[in-house]
Structure 1
Amino acid sequence: MDYRRITGIEDPLFRQMHQLMQNVFPTEEVLEFDLWKEPLEDPGIRVFVAVHDGKVVGATEYRYYEDFNVAMTDFTIIGAAGLGIGPFLARKRLEDLQSWAANKGNQLSGMFAEIYDPYRVEHYEFGGIKPMDPYVRREVLSHLGYQRLDFPYVHPSWNNDGEAVEGLDLCFLPMADQNELPADLIVNFLTRYYTVLSNKPKAWLDMIEDLRAKETVALLPF
């Protein structure tokens, strides 16, 4: 299996990847094809696909914020069972991020990710691909060391229509032993991360204000 970076929408592998995203994710979670041009060309965002026998069977997008010394996994897609795609992507991503941070003179402190809570939202089938099942994904993240940040989480719809997307948790994979994060780190990260969406829902703005009133946020098991 090959780990291939996508840097433009003209790459034939990107069309395969975008179709895989549409097969797996809810509509409001998938950015339109043409709107991917700038993110793919952004040196601060990395999109890689897992290629098996010439076919895209998985993908992951992530970024590293040098000033915060944290990373964010935007998404991970496992397109088929029985190929070890999940462990392959997780290993390659972490190796790349640690190298990326080291080149900036840092030792990566941790990584954010969003995860659906199947106990609140049960209707997402993720294309019928069992490794993408929310219950499975949640357990996998837990085994990798991710923990849930203890606050009610929503995020703006990627349709940029001002709607709030619920039923998720924001979680964090610490690289050192810790049981909380500074609230201002979370605020600064989320504000930066969602800058691209101009139409923020009131629920998201309220969530940010609530976080500003806190000093720390606890990290809890799933």
Structure 2
Amino acid sequence: MNNLLKIGEYELSQEKKKINVLIVDNSDLNNNVIKEYLNRQERFRVVANENRLNQELFNQLEILLEPLVILLFMRDSPQYDITWIKKLKKRYPNLPIIVLSEYSYVLFFHTLMEAGVNNILNIDTSPEQIAQVIECTLDGHFFLPYSFYRKLNHITSVFTEVEIQTLELITLDYTNIQMAKELNVTIRGVESRLTKIYDKLEVSCRREAVKKIMQMK
């Protein structure tokens, strides 16, 4: 009898191999607590703690043991992280990536999903919940916090789909020219969308728009 259980592209024996976790974070604010918690659990092993996604890390992934999960703390430069996530998923399409963000990630939820992220959590998620989500991710499940679901519903009730796309790009620090190229519209079209967004939020600039969105409940 075959004693192997397939989870995604991974094969785990009945004894259950340890889940190897690679933490990527440019701050020690949370990850030391999470690292210590995961290493105390029989099910997990933190194999590395890196400051940032980069080419060196990209090249080293092939030698790390499976099953492997990347836990990425997105604290700044989301556009940089998303670019590297796309590169990782292109090279390693079955590599699970879980993002923990201190941003109101509802603004670029679709961008992260399209980049190939498997799960997205608030950065203050407890170590116990993170452990549960790692296992859910390997089982092929998507975890959506209720607070995020409620906020997403609120935003989709206020803004159109194209306005939400524009808000995501604002959050990712795209210029008007970059947004025009990404959205396949003219500069004037981008400016028109921004005006409608500002009117709905009763603000006058990008920074105020992002701040207002983050304050939505």
Task: Establish whether TM, by shorter chain, passes 0.5.
Answer: no
Which is strand-richer, 1 or 2? 1
Larger radius of gyration: 2
TM-score of Structure 1 vs Structure 2, range by shorter chain = 0.3 to 0.5
Which is helix-richer, 1 or 2? 2
State the TM-score, normalizing by the size of structure 1: 0.32
